Structure 1
Amino acid sequence: MQLYNTLSAEERAQLIDEAGKQRLTLSFYAYAKIEDPKKFRDDLFIAWNALDALGRIYVANEGINAQMSVPADNFEAFKETLNVYDFMKGIRLNVAVEQDDHSFLKLTIKVRHKIVADGLNDETFDVTNKGIHLRAKEFNQILEDPNTIVVDFRNHYESEVGHFKGAITPDVETFRESLPIINEQLKDFKETKNLVMYCTGGIRCEKASAYYKHQGFKNVFQLEGGIIQYAKQIKEENLESKFIGKNFVFDNRLGERITEDIVSQCHQCGKPCDNHTNCFNDGCHLLFIQCDECQAAMENCCSTECQEITHLPLAEQVKLRSGKQVGNKVFRKGKSEKLKFKHSGELSDTPLGVVSKTKNIRKKITVKKVLVGKAEHYFTKSKIAQFLIENKEISLGDKILISGPTTGEQELIITNLFINGNTSEIAKKGDQITFEVPFRIRLSDKLYKILN
């Protein structure tokens, strides 16, 4: 029986686009005692694969942690697959504020030692003995109490783009680093202060709350459902947002906007910005913040060195990184001496700017363009886009706009062009063209030629 993916990400994306049906991005977790994680994993794969559910899921003896994309039509059936297990009956599902049909393109379920790596080897530590859960209104109220200490249990690249006002934001790359740091920092307040914690969806701070209760802290609280649920509740209940900025998320979107405040800077020029990107150099993939102007100038690269490497022939790039370990994984080590405006650790509560709501409207008015084609394929390893020309002509050196619901609006100049597999300078209606792009394209993207 099939217990693995048989489609590539590109093939899956094409099927999703062809289906044209809405998908829901969601996450959930549960701490529980699972006797046979491998069988549990296989049973889930069979059930979810049948529903076209995709995502990244970890299971262990201590529970399950899932981030997923589920067809809206199959949502109720998906919930029934959870209700089969007592510890997941009626479980809270954190449905994303912003939806993206391509948030996940594979169903990956892995058995791990723990669903949240904590570095602890204490057999007396009971992860189910958790702190008191607080909804958004209660959370806001306890933050007003001068006897409260609030701690962000996310990593530096997450808290940098958005956090709760007055929160302690540890300068860490992993959850396991946070536990001893906060324990030492707050050891004198175990009986006198309210220790209030939060994370993206609740899973990290739930384990942290149990750990600090185990360490002797008396008044331990956590934000129920994390920032994801907080954002929903303040909107539904018309509450003030104590969170400022963007909530970093671990899928292709890389963030959900909670408030219009921008609290971080482009790591290259210092301009107010909170858009994460991955370095285009396959030997780097550093996660960093980059504004539109720097993205165009640096071609999605974190440094001139990486930019120069991306201009080399693919064979030379592979040779350069052969035998070397890629140190900057997508969600790790978001730091580099070359990033002059990177901030982490103690973060300011003062916004550096606000999102311009009229920016895209003005852009549409000022940019004159004509539709010339549609996306057909994206070659992940070579970062090559394939389009079919359906209208007009397009030439080497033309300024183009690639636009789509997930891609947004990306402008670039065609510096190399292959037409029907051969190098050429002009493509006409009916031609299939390919060229390099510094970002992922989707099959829903359209290709425009900019006229001015």
Structure 2
Amino acid sequence: MAKYNTLLYYCYSTIADAEQYATDHLKFCKNLGLTGRIIVAEEGLNGTVSGSAESCKTYMDTLHADPRFAGIDFKVDEVEEPSFIKMHVRYKSEIVHSGLRDPNIINPQLQTGKHLDPKDFLAMKDDEDVVILDVRSNYEHNLGRFKNAITLDIDNFRDFPEKINELAQYKDKKILTYCTGGIKCEKASALLLHEGFKDVYQLHGGIIKYGKEAGGEDFEGKCYVFDNRLSVDVNHVNPVVISTCFNCGKITHKMINCANPECNEHFTQCDECGDKMEGCCSDACKAHPRKREYDGTGYYVKVPQPVNVDKKRKIVTQMLNE
């Protein structure tokens, strides 16, 4: 029996003093012994946290008791060990970076695509008048995606608005959007509606919930996740591996970060090439003087750099003299 849980969630709900809330929420999470990564903004919360089953239950109960977050749909995975090393809660301008900050244009609290439960998505996805749209980044959909899904060449979700024109041919279709947990679809579907798409839907709870409630049927490959697992299995009905090694082209589902921290590229790499390339995407990265030691996982924890006391003193002295 797994000792720990990992929770994936988001909530679009106005937080009046989001910056202070982030500070307080970090203390709360640390007191529970949780690890993870949470983004707090005036528009809501976006988080993945991990810890003991008891701590995670307390966390979920506490958030659900707050009227602002009562509707959070937590996706819960049982794991053998915590999915993070540290706990981070950060205040940002958006809970998912899109660049769409005008609430008069895009506001998921007011308008989004129609939410489809996983079983309804499964029943609808193969209809002739339906287009399945993946709104995630390249490295995510290269690892796994729905069969016959339309994918966009984007490195980050903030590039999504630029690609709307490429979808104009589908304006008369039913658009079914999906992402990892649902958060990106809230803004993607809202933008599609704003741009004149009439019939827009989104997979409620994303790929993760679809795997739990609909068996993951026709999701090909693995699902990228933003913790030290890097990817998880979704399809328990007709699974296949679709991703290939960046270096040799061999079929592999292993996703890593390049060992060169100045590159840090997300890419798929087989174990053989991982050993040969020492976890790097290229010979140039392999020869880089800052290359991190590859332990076979391709997951790296940021190591705090020691404070340069002399440099800090020099900066402070310079400020006082100005």
- TM-score scaled to structure 1, two decimals? 0.61
Give the superposition deviation at 1:280: 2.3
Aligned with residue 271 of structure 1, among 240, 250, 253:
250
Structure 2: how far apart are the matches of 1:229 and 1:144? 19
Is 1:246 the counterpart of 2:222 in the alignment? yes
Look up the match of 1:288.
Answer: 267
User: What is the alpha-carbon root mean square deviation over aligned residues?
Assistant: 2.4
Look up the match of 1:352.
Answer: none
Aligned with residue 276 of structure 2, among 276, 294, 297:
297
Structure 2: how far apart are the matches of 1:441 and 1:203? 24
Runs of at least 5 residues in structure 2 that lack an aligned partner in the other structure: 301-322
3-state SS, counterpart of residue 157 of structure 1 = helix
8 A contact 2:135–2:151 mirrored in 1: yes
What amino acid does structure 1 have at the position aligned with 2:271?
Answer: D
Aligned with residue 49 of structure 2, among 46, 68, 72:
68
Higher RCO (CA-CA < 8 Å; seq separation 6+): 2
Look up the match of 2:212.
Answer: 232
Look up the match of 2:62.
Answer: 81
Give the superposition deviation at 1:101: 1.6
Runs of at least 5 residues in structure 1 that lack an aligned partner in the other structure: 1-19, 310-316, 319-380, 384-435, 443-452
Distance 1:175 1:285, change over 3 A: closer
- TM-score scaled to structure 2, two decimals? 0.84
Structure 1: how far apart are the matches of 2:88 and 2:102? 29
Look up the match of 1:209.
Answer: 189
Q: Deviations over 1:112-146 (max 9, x none)?
A: 01111212253412222121111122112211211
Deviates more, 1:204-213 or 1:192-201: 204-213
8 A contact 1:21–1:71 mirrored in 2: no
Look up the match of 2:233.
Answer: 257
**Could you tell me the percent identity over the aligned residues?**
37
Give the superposition deviation at 1:55: 0.8
Structure 1: how far apart are the matches of 2:292 and 2:263? 15
8 A contact 1:27–1:68 mirrored in 2: yes
8 A contact 1:100–1:253 mirrored in 2: no
Q: Deviations over 1:144-173 (max 9, x none)?
A: 211111110100010011101111110111
8 A contact 1:127–1:211 mirrored in 2: no
Structure 2: how far apart are the matches of 1:244 and 1:120? 30
Look up the match of 2:25.
Answer: 44
3-state SS, counterpart of residue 186 of structure 1 = helix
Give the superposition deviation at 1:440: 7.4
Count of aligned pairs: 295
Q: Deviations over 1:288-321 (max 9, x none)?
A: 2111111122222222233334xxxxxxx25xxx
What amino acid does structure 2 have at the position aligned with 1:88?
Answer: F
Larger radius of gyration: 1
Larger helix proportion of the pair: 2
